[in-house]
Amino acid sequence: MGISFLGSLPLGTLNVAAMQIGIQESIHEAIWFSLGSLLVEMLYVRLSLVGIDWVRKQGKLMKWMEWITLAIIVALAVGSFVAASKGNGSAKNILLNNHLHRFLLGMVMCAINPVQIPFWFGWSTVLFNKNILQAKPAQYNLYIIGIGIGTLLGNCVFIFGGKWMVQRIANSQQYLNWVIGGIFTITAIIQLVKMLLHKDGVSKFKQRGA
């Protein structure tokens, strides 16, 4: 839970999207979004624990998913800037301006982001080596439940923190989409640089398996 909570705090696609939903829609919808994303994350962790050899062989698929994720981050950035240009703080990003249930939206956005697999494979390996985590079904289940709770708590920091800031800063809604667009732009640039320099999570994951 602690690893998951701290891992959810750096700015990323999912936590910023959850914050935007919480601010522009409701806390309820943002929580649904987070529950959908953490469910998929938990499934990915389970997969990495029991089928790591198979996962390693899917390098090409994971690479394609990584490029798709980058494209979505860019689309979120562009959509935020387009919404900001309308001069209306309530204008939504085009990817969030839909009627898809936020639980399903969270699942979809998390499912196409493969970064969870190398992240949790690395931490699981460390915990196995230190004999903190053992290959027992009961420990796997507790481990995965802790991950889900940690991710939810991390997202809540963004959801409730973003709502709190907007309520206390004058005219903050007017600049919200500009700020979020900037965050997504920086995230996309960092992700692209890592991918081009082979410093991304998928590349490191493949190197570990070599």
For range 84-100, the mean pLDDT? 68
Q: Domain map of the chain by residue range?
A: 2-209
- HSE-up of residue 186 (Cα within 13 Å, Cβ side): 10
Better pLDDT: 56 or 65: 65
DSSP state, 94? T
Percent of the chain with pLDDT over 90: 22
Q: How big is the CA angle at 12 (ends 31 and 47), to the nearest 5 degrees?
A: 75
Better pLDDT: 13 or 159: 159
Cβ(159)–Cβ(18) below 8 Å:
yes
For range 121-149, the mean pLDDT? 87
Global pTM reads: 0.75
Instruction: Report the distance separating Cα 180 and Cα 36, nearest Å.
Output: 21
DSSP state, 100? S
Give the tens place of pLDDT for each residue, 151-178.
Answer: 999 999 999 988 888 777 655 666 777 8
* Phi–psi pair at 115, nearest 5 degrees: -65, -25
DSSP secondary structure string for all residues of 146-175: HHHHHHHHHHHHHHHHHHHHHHHSTTHHHH
Give the tens place of pLDDT for each residue, 15-50.
Answer: 888 988 888 888 999 999 999 999 999 988 887 787
